[in-house]
Structure 1
């Protein structure tokens, strides 16, 4: 009985200031925005729309230059003049495409008999 009378006498009065109310509104808005973003992310497919075309390890290591570069890198010589000289002399396994050749190379291909003046 005594406790009940004490409970009646003690009441919690909470006073909301304008700052507290503004912060609560901002927090509620951010929570709603986060929920909306989470729903949007769930609706977006996680896979790519287009197919991704890459090279396999076997295709990469079929090229001599790749194997030499990997060996030079593991030996710590990749940034040396020796490596630059060695790699510049290695011919590619597959000849380069015609559209990626320089103008001088094209001139030599089209006119092999002509000499530079």
Structure 2
């Protein structure tokens, strides 16, 4: 896959939204299982943003890459901290939640694609 297939700016914008909306709920979901749904919704919104603002014509790819990369980046930090503190890592949980994040990325990518097809354009891309 060529790097020009991915719109880096779109991935950064979507990743920022994921970090703001999904990661806090993912951290808190360790104590309240219901918050897993809110974390997944945060990944849907963030990946939807990446899919909506991308300009290369690959909204689903942007949605999946955004959600997956954001999850892996945050989870890597959590795993390192947990191992540093002497804790055990539930690897099955890490990989299961990764698949949830990827699925949320597909949904967000589809929603972003739908917005583009219906003519909704981000303010940064409007012709003035």
TM-score, normalised by the number of residues in structure 2: 0.22
Instruction: Decide which structure has the larger Cα Rg and report it.
Output: 1
* Larger RCO, structure (CA 8 Å, separation 6 or more): 2
